[in-house]
Structure 1
Amino acid sequence: MKKPFSISALIIAMVSFISCGEKEKPKENETAVVETKNEIMGSWLLVYGETRTADTVEVKDLSNTEFMKILNEDHFAFFNQKKDTAEGFYGGAGTYTLKESVYTEKLDYIGVKELRGHEFTFDVEIKGDTLIQSGVEDVPEAGIKRHIVEKYIRIK
């Protein structure tokens, strides 16, 4: 009698252990907390950019420009290029950390000296093939204090 109980208990324990390790995937339109750097790594194209400064909201006009962000295991880079011209090109790069949905960039390479070495902390989430980044950019030395929301789609 003891053996059937022990085998049943062992099977229940194994099933419980296995099911605890399974991760439920979000449905296509649900938000997923970014759990690993692998989920955020890749090339991303900005499709929406919003900046709130004091009581002013500005939506970035992307009809004549392309803005791309590239993330590898521990570095990021971004580039902006006006379409059909060499005018208006700028970029920046540095290192980043990601802890759950908290993404922090340390901007090491940029044309604006006051921004070099500055850290920017954002909340990030992934919905399907969309990366949403939001947070406050606060750099008193550069006269910057604004809340941003950026939406990127993964470049395949």
Structure 2
Amino acid sequence: MKITNALMIIAGISAVSCTGNMEGTPAETTKLPIVGTWKLLTAKTIENGDTTTTDYTKDRSFIKIINDTHFAFLHHDLHKGKDSLAFFSAGGGDYVLKDSLYTEHLEYSDGRDWEGNTFDFHVNISNDTLTQRGLEQVESAGVNREIVETYIRVAP
């Protein structure tokens, strides 16, 4: 009799512990796998009703490196700065990712007007492709535009 009661108690405890999420506590959300090194393939810029698409696989290269708390980007021409297309840009800071809302706080930038600004993006990751869409608004630089960027993962 004591063994039967003990088995019923164990079975009851097991059943309750296997039900998963307790009522009133939120389910854990799956975090997007955003950490890694990403190479920008294309960027669409929408400003004043005009759309411009830039191919980042020709004449220039742009990478974004994201760890658990910070991001950094590097952008330069592919002609080693030797012609009229000479260009270099870099920046970085911390970020927050909540569901698909990715918020960058730009702490460092060669474009000093951009420093101290926060940018909200919606991100989607499908296999090795990251799509980032949001507004870039920097009043001091006269920037107010929507961007859509498509990256490919180059390193985990």
- The bucket for the TM-score relative to the shorter chain is 0.7 to 0.9
Partner of 2:117: 118
Shift of 1:108: 1.2
Tell me how large the CA RMSD over aligned residues is.
2.4
Partner of 1:150: 149
Partner of 1:105: 104
Partner of 2:59: 64
Contact 1:81/1:88 (<8 A) preserved: yes
Pair 1:85 & 2:87 matched: no
Please identify, of 42-51 and 83-92, the stretch whose mean Cα deviation from structure 2 is larger. 83-92
2:31 maps to which of 24, 35, 44: 35
Query: Which of the two has higher C-alpha Rg?
Result: 2
Contact 2:41/2:55 (<8 A) preserved: no
Contact 1:66/1:82 (<8 A) preserved: yes
Shift of 1:17: 2.7
Shift of 1:61: 2.8
Contact 1:136/1:145 (<8 A) preserved: yes
Contact 1:34/1:101 (<8 A) preserved: no
**One-letter amino acid of the counterpart of residue 40, structure 1:** I
Q: Secondary structure at the match of 2:20?
A: helix
Pair 1:44 & 2:35 matched: no
Partner of 1:53: 47
Structure 2 unaligned regions, length at least 5: 22-26
Structure 1 unaligned regions, length at least 5: 24-32
Between the two proteins, the alignment pairs up a number of residues equal to: 141
How much identity, in percent, do the aligned residues show?
34
Shift of 1:119: 0.6
